[in-house]
Amino acid sequence: MRIEIWADVVCPWMYIGKRRLERALAGRSGEPVEVVWRPYRIDPTAPAVSEPVEEFLRDPFVEVALEACGPVQDGDGELVQMSELAAAEGLGDRWGAAWRADSHDAHRLLALAEAEGPAVQDAVAEGVLRAHFVEGRDIADPEVLAGIATEAGFTRGGELLAGGGGAERVRELLLWGQAEGVRTSPTFVANGMALTGAQPSELVAEFLAEAAGREPRRLPEEVERLRRAEALLELANPLGALELLRPLTEAHADDRNVRFLAARAYYRSAQLNRARSTLEALLEESADDAYTHLLLGRTLQRQGERELAEPHLRLAAVMDPALA
């Protein structure tokens, strides 16, 4: 069974959640478990150059970031309580980040480490978390990340990171997470089930036992990509949908479903010329699709071509009165 951990390495609950997951796995028997790390960003506006965390805590928008890192408890004793919980999980007496760091490069390193196997990727994750929360180091510093990679046995990590590796993979995974409904760091996903937050190890164990009993239907990779792109479109992220669709539009240029979803994304992202040309080509091949007529009519309207739009809108309404 594969467990995906969707989390931001600057979320303190993630480190606690990691320890609780490890305890749950240690007491488990049965089929082997593979743990894979996936990116999530709680603070995408973090500065390119790290700043002392005290300045971040004075930021009026800090609560927005912390809402995505859970479970979050109210009250002025939050940081004190977090240090107590961390100590209880064996994470040491000294606890707390010293820097507000952009976690993008750390996620790139984790994405690159996946190819080295679960054990190496997990060792990199442990090193990043320890550096940020226990050692007070700046995990946005390339030298710090290169050192963590080497210590984890990923000797090529620093070099690959310096060459820009992993950036495209991280962007795509962030879109996947958005499409799958990931809203909290950490979120554990296994066999189509999700558990949000750093829950007690007993609850994590129950979650794993229930997930192990499931056999979700496995869809082809192309179908999964199409499904995620459509989900992003419904979440009002048409540019993200187009990014996920790009491999499909290149490999399956003749597929009607791919082209129509791309046309919808073009329309929603105001790329009206692309939407128009794609829809016109679809109608040349098959003129009996009411929704294609409707979308082309609306596209022409937005371009100011009302006379050209009207026949398509009328046809759509006749073919499917629900579209009137």
Between the CA of residue 222 and those of 29, 201, 218, 279, 320, what are the distances in Å?
Answer: 34, 36, 12, 22, 30
- What pLDDT was estimated at residue 236? 97
Q: Are 323 and 317 in contact (CB under 8 A)?
A: yes
Look up residue 210 and give its two tokens: 């229930």
**Amino acid of residue 264:** R
| Residues 48-60: tens digit of each pLDDT | 899 998 766 656 5
- What pLDDT was estimated at residue 56? 64
| Residues 128-145: tens digit of each pLDDT | 999 999 999 999 999 999
| Residues 246-297: tens digit of each pLDDT | 999 999 989 999 999 999 999 999 999 999 999 999 999 999 999 999 999 9
Between the CA of residue 186 and those of 33, 67, 215, 299, what are the distances in Å?
Answer: 18, 12, 23, 41
Concatenating the DSSP letter of every residue in 79-112 gives: HHHHHHHHHHTTS-S----SEE---HHHHHHHHH
Contact partners, residue 117, CB within 8 Å, separation at least 6 = none
- What pLDDT was estimated at residue 45? 87
Helix/strand/coil for 39: strand
Look up residue 303 and give its two tokens: 């371009």
Q: Is 114 exposed, middle or buried (0-12, 13-18, 19+ CB in 10 A)?
A: middle
158, containing H or E segment: helix 157-162
Q: What is the mean pLDDT of each run of 10 residues along the chain (324 residues)?
A: 96 93 90 94 90 70 66 50 79 82 97 97 98 96 98 97 97 97 96 94 95 89 96 98 96 94 98 98 94 97 96 93 82
Please report how many Cα atoms fall inside a 13 Å half-sphere around the Cα of residue 159, on the Cβ side: 4
